[in-house]
Amino acid sequence: MKNIGSILLMICFSVFFINGLYAGEPEIWQDIDNDEQGEPEEPEGWVFAGEFSKVFSQAGFSNWAAGGENSFSSTSIIRLDANYQKDNISFENNLDLRYGLYKTESRSLRKNEDKIDFTFKLGRKIREKLNSSAMVNYRTQFTAGYHYPNDTIAVSRGMAPGFLTASLGFDYIPWEFLSVFASPVSGRFTFVLDEELAGKGAFGVDTGKSVNADLGSIIVLTFNKRFTDNVRVRSKLEVFNAYIGPDTYSWKNSVINWESMLRVSITEYFTANLLLHIIYDHNISVPVYETIDGEEIITGEEQWQIKQTFGLGFSYTF
């Protein structure tokens, strides 16, 4: 009965959403808009922006009694924005690309960052600070990944996995640096377009299949603020909850993806960067290594995945 009620709620919401996106403004809000005509208007038309960063980290040892190993890492970050605003209609396009490599004295070159993330959002203002919106997000990676020290069997590749999320909802923007998008109608598709990985049922996709689809709700919080001329924080939190599953209506049936970046400008082009990425996905089992009776056994279970990177580097905004 709960699932039937959720479906009816989504149908009603979809009708209301489409009416809000394309129909004329409700009369109840027309007077509010008229009272605010004296406020400065936002720039109309296309606005393009971009940012390139190169982050480095290095450690070197020579005759160091306490021990240590020489290492070097480098991460490239590119963010491109193309946004459009005219009257009550807005388009937002954001592309986030990251790729990083590291090398130690005793190990071969390995990757420590790999990301392709594209978000498109179409919105129509229905009242001040509130838009009805449609959002599409796509994420995958450039190259194969491995569970080191095993560097012969790939555990991921481009589009294996790939994640596509399409949502209808509302976008609340209380301040220019904060957006809260909420949708009870969201489809999340997981792709494993690699025959070998699909045969293993990787990333929650049924064995032998290449796509898994979930229907649920999603909340996306986007924070982007410059606190001073030298300090900027960008953070994005996504929480998706599937309507159908063994732990429905529980956080255990959720996909949580939270990325944050703190950037401190030391000079005009020289910066210190701290990147934090936290993931919980009920569809993905993370390898767990256990030693039983002197033998190492690999098991898998859902785990919080945490990645942190700190380094100094070059940054250019255009």
DSSP state string for 282-302: TT-PEEEEEEETTEEEEEEE-
User: What is the bridge-based pairing of β-strands 270-281 and 286-292?
Assistant: unpaired
The per-residue pLDDT for 4 is 43
**CATH code, domain carrying 75:** 2.40.230
State the total domains in the chain: 1
Q: Distance (Å, rounded) from C-alpha 191 to C-alpha 164?
A: 8
Q: Exposed, middle or buried, 123 (CB in 10 Å: 0-12/13-18/19+)?
A: buried
Q: Provide the residue type at 54 as one letter.
A: K
pLDDT in tens, the chain (318 residues): 444 444 444 544 444 444 454 444 444 344 434 444 444 455 678 999 999 999 998 888 877 887 788 889 999 999 999 999 999 999 999 999 999 999 988 888 999 999 999 999 999 999 999 999 999 999 999 999 998 878 888 989 999 999 999 999 999 999 999 999 999 999 999 999 999 999 988 888 888 899 999 999 999 999 999 999 999 999 999 999 988 865 555 566 789 999 999 999 999 999 999 999 999 987 777 766 566 666 655 555 667 889 988 999 999 998
Overall pTM > 0.95: no
Q: Distance (Å, rounded) from C-alpha 207 to C-alpha 214?
A: 16
The per-residue pLDDT for 173 is 95
Structure tokens at 289: 């290594």
Q: Exposed, middle or buried, 282 (CB in 10 Å: 0-12/13-18/19+)?
A: buried
Q: Distance (Å, rounded) from C-alpha 10 to C-alpha 254?
A: 19
Torsion angle defined by CA atoms of residues 103, 163, 299 and 297, in that order, rounded to the nearest 10 degrees: -30
Q: From the CB of residue 83, how many other CB atoms can be counted at a distance below 10 Å?
A: 16
DSSP annotation of 161 reads T
Q: Distance (Å, rounded) from C-alpha 134 to C-alpha 166?
A: 8
- SS3 state at 253: helix
Give residues with Cβ within 8 angstroms of 300, minimum separation 6: 285, 286, 287, 288
Instruction: Residue 60: give the domain boundaries.
Output: 2-317
User: What is the bridge-based pairing of β-strands 107-127 and 130-140?
Assistant: antiparallel
Alpha-helical segments (H) within the chain: 2-22, 27-35, 195-199
The per-residue pLDDT for 43 is 64
The per-residue pLDDT for 298 is 57
For residues 29 and 127, is the Cβ–Cβ distance under 8 A? Answer: yes
Structure tokens at 182: 């909420």
**Angle at Cα 158 formed by Cα 153 and Cα 163, nearest 5°?**
120
